[in-house]
Structure 1
Amino acid sequence: MAALRIWLRLKRATALRAGGAWARNKCQSSFGLLFDIDGVLVRGRTPIPAAKEAFRKLVDSRGEFQVPVVFVTNAGNCLRQVKAEQLSEVLDVEPPATKDFTQIEAVILFGEPVRWETNLQLIIDVLLTNGSPGDCVRTVPDPHLPILACNMDLMWMAEAQMARFGHGTFLVCLENIYKKITGKDLKYKALIGKPSIITYNYADCLVRKLGESRGLDAPVCRLYAIGDNPMTDIYGANLYNRYIQSAHKLPVPAKVAAGGMLEGQEEVPGIGPVHEGKLAGSAIESCKSILVCTGVYSRHEQLPCDPSVSVTETVFHGHRDFHFDPSLVEPSFEVQDVNEAVDLVFREENRD
């Protein structure tokens, strides 16, 4: 049987640019906003009430954005255009534009499937047969086919009261099954999506391009990343802020760019295909993290169930290949919801 070829679009986490042209006389923003979606703006298909109120503060009377806005999500369970249309309807804003990515040939894992056992079996078959699942397994390929994972979220927030298993949980299953069968570790060509630096670097580029294309009076130099998951949204934003600070001082080989996240690896999964070079240059001065309490994180419902225990003392939900740096889980700011987050940003930026 001919080798199974899996053709999919590579995503560094879905990045949607908010649409709408900004009035020239209001283009004075020197900051941009990065919004997570699930747990910040919506819970499943249900909008979080504070989201509409927050976005009314970001648009003018015509519904057009006054500051550069990028939506950064690990969710890959629908087409980007569908996600953009859903957001536009929920938030009553201009439809966000989507960004296409280059097609590649690889096994690319976007999000948790409906039938886990079927998909786990198929992926293992493909890996053990080097892409020819109709053949018998004679020897375990070493190295196996390239694998790219675009979502590392262990948990995510839908309509249910408790967080749901995310794609990170599916990866845990896949890694352990492969290890149990072969005695070898599953290796990734790249780990893409929050908290990977490459995701935030790409969002950074989008924000700055948006500012340039809309004629801002001042270049975007500060980012505020709003999210509900300390282990992905906050960890990733803080990690990117660390990268920004070090990038202005030092050359940025892969290990430095990873912020010391990985141990004993020359190629950094979080950096992906740019591990032999550098990430795109950035004029951004800082990336501050804002944690909301409407999703995965709640002030009173953390594990272990003791409100006196700091979030940095809880079990690390990050991916196997990322060691835990507790300092990166602490947000720059903590607020109740996205509406309070927008108010906070305006105060920080001395905006009315």
Structure 2
Amino acid sequence: LSRWAGRGAKVRCSSWACRWQAGRAGTSPTEARPPGPGRRLRYHGARAVQRWSASLTDREGSWQGCQPTAGRRGQILPAGPSRALSVPQVSPEQVILSHSPLQLFSQFHQRCMLVAGQGPVEENAHNLGFKHVVTIEALRKAYPLLDMVDLRTVTLPSPFSAFHWVILFGEPVRWETSLQLIADVLLSNGNPGAELQEVPYPHLPILACNMDLLWMAEAKMPRFGHGTFLLCLESIYKKVTGRELKYEALIGKPSPVTYRYAQYLIQQQAEKQGWKAPIRRLYAVGDNPMSDIYGANLYNNYLKSAQQNQVQAGLKRSPQAASSQSCESILVCTGVYRHNGTVAKQTEETVFHGHRDFCFDPSLLQASHIVQDVDDAVQLAFKKENWS
């Protein structure tokens, strides 16, 4: 991934991602019917599904294979969004959470993992394939002296050995406790009860999901997201050790890994429904320019780069083996982004809310299209694809 993400991001390459070849591309006839295999819609935000579900069913009410993405909600189970949407046609397999691609990290599933976040993080980790999981809560009970925020903790026997990896699913409930205990694990090389003479470096590998600095809830102003928590952890580690905190992989928007995984699932769903034609175009709908739009445009650059590399290498494109050709970004005005009708500032002056490991490319913040809401986004895609 690091090879093709260079224009807009620095992404560390994991072995599974470098070998992974998913998705297909080619040509397919334009037909006046609901979404078919030639072009697919991907939605960032579970609430959006309720607005457009009726447009994506046939006369019998059968689901036509759209791929919704439940953006930043990495603290819930995949079945949760599909139930909350009140759209019975949406199955858990059609919902991508920020941590969903971690199930492909099978080479790490047998390691002892410290997992941080809120909600059913232990169940999420097990569902992803990780066998040995320890939560922050379990760690603080096993080592109560580590958490000076709450001295009421009762000591319990430690049921786990040294940690091998750290998984950060999302922002925790008590940031100070999680920051302290994660730092303890990193500084002790996975043995929080030990006292080392030197700080180990490189530190234990970290997998981080969901990099949104801010997100929009019911409040009038955006809330701190997991990206803000990561910023705190990075700052603390740098201040204490003088070295940079490193990530084995960053998962979730705008990471190309997530978009690649979404394309892979889209292709799987198309094949299950008997659609043989390759997928040529992807449409990504979101409300956050810094994550949804940035990520979609970054992935579009990857698709274009992959095509150019094939041409330069003199390889014959196979409709069955090639990837999609484009990913158009559609920005809606119902979330973080608000279109007030005034002249926008120059993108060069925009404060970059993306993660530290993603280089700022102002051009990637420019959406292919801007519409009022997700219903308008669906209609726009219908129009571009000549669907009635």
Unaligned residue ranges in structure 2 (runs of 5+): 1-16, 18-32, 112-164, 312-320
Q: Which among 283, 289, 292 is matched to residue 230 of structure 1?
A: 289
Q: Which among 337, 341, 350 is matched to residue 297 of structure 1?
A: 337
| Cα pair distance change 1:313/1:92, threshold 3 Å | farther
Q: Aligned partners of 1:169, 1:178: CA distance in 2, in Å?
A: 14
| Cα pair distance change 1:71/1:31, threshold 3 Å | same
Query: Mapping of 1:54-133 within 5 angstroms?
Result: 54-71=52-69, 73-87=71-85, 89=86, 91-97=87-93, 101=103, 102=106, 103=109, 105=111, 106-133=165-192
| Cα pair distance change 1:247/1:104, threshold 3 Å | farther
Query: Is 1:33 aligned to 2:15, yes or no?
Result: no
Query: Is 1:216 aligned to 2:275, yes or no?
Result: yes
What TM-score, normalized to structure 1?
A: 0.75
Count of aligned pairs:
285
Query: Mapping of 1:161-176 within 5 angstroms?
Result: 161-176=220-235
Cα deviation for residue 316 of structure 1 reads 0.3
Query: Mapping of 1:128-277 within 5 angstroms?
Result: 128-216=187-275, 218-250=277-309
Q: Aligned partners of 1:67, 1:83: CA distance in 2, in Å?
A: 16
| SS of residue matched to 1:323 | coil
Structure 1 or 2: larger helix share?
Answer: 2
| SS of residue matched to 1:73 | coil
Query: Is 1:284 aligned to 2:324, yes or no?
Result: yes
Cα deviation for residue 249 of structure 1 reads 1.8
Q: Aligned partners of 2:340, 2:179: CA distance in 1, in Å?
A: 35
Counterpart of 2:200 in structure 1: which amino acid? P
Counterpart of 2:244 in structure 1: which amino acid? D
Counterpart of 1:286 in structure 2: which amino acid? S
| Cα pair distance change 1:127/1:114, threshold 3 Å | same
**1:7-64 C-alpha deviation (Å, 9 max, x unpaired):** xxxxx9xxxxxxxxxxxx9774411111111xxx43xxxxx6xx53322111234442
Q: Aligned partners of 1:27, 1:127: CA distance in 2, in Å?
A: 47
**1:141-191 C-alpha deviation (Å, 9 max, x unpaired):** 011100111111101111111111000000000000001111111111111
Cα deviation for residue 94 of structure 1 reads 3.9
Q: Which moved more, 1:111-120 or 1:292-301?
A: 292-301
**1:205-239 C-alpha deviation (Å, 9 max, x unpaired):** 11122112212363221100001111111011101
| Cα pair distance change 1:177/1:347, threshold 3 Å | same
What TM-score, normalized to structure 2?
A: 0.68
Query: Which residue in the other structure is 1:334 paired with?
Result: 370
Cα deviation for residue 126 of structure 1 reads 0.3
Unaligned residue ranges in structure 1 (runs of 5+): 1-11, 13-24, 43-47, 253-280
Counterpart of 1:147 in structure 2: which amino acid? I
Counterpart of 1:180 in structure 2: which amino acid? K
| SS of residue matched to 1:35 | strand
Q: Aligned partners of 2:34, 2:372: CA distance in 1, in Å?
A: 28
Aligned-pair Cα RMSD in Å: 2.4
Asked whether the equivalents of residues 27 and 216 of structure 1 are also in contact (C-alpha less than 8 Å), the reply is no
Counterpart of 2:338 in structure 1: which amino acid? S
Identity percentage of aligned residues: 52
Larger Rg: 2
| Cα pair distance change 1:53/1:76, threshold 3 Å | closer
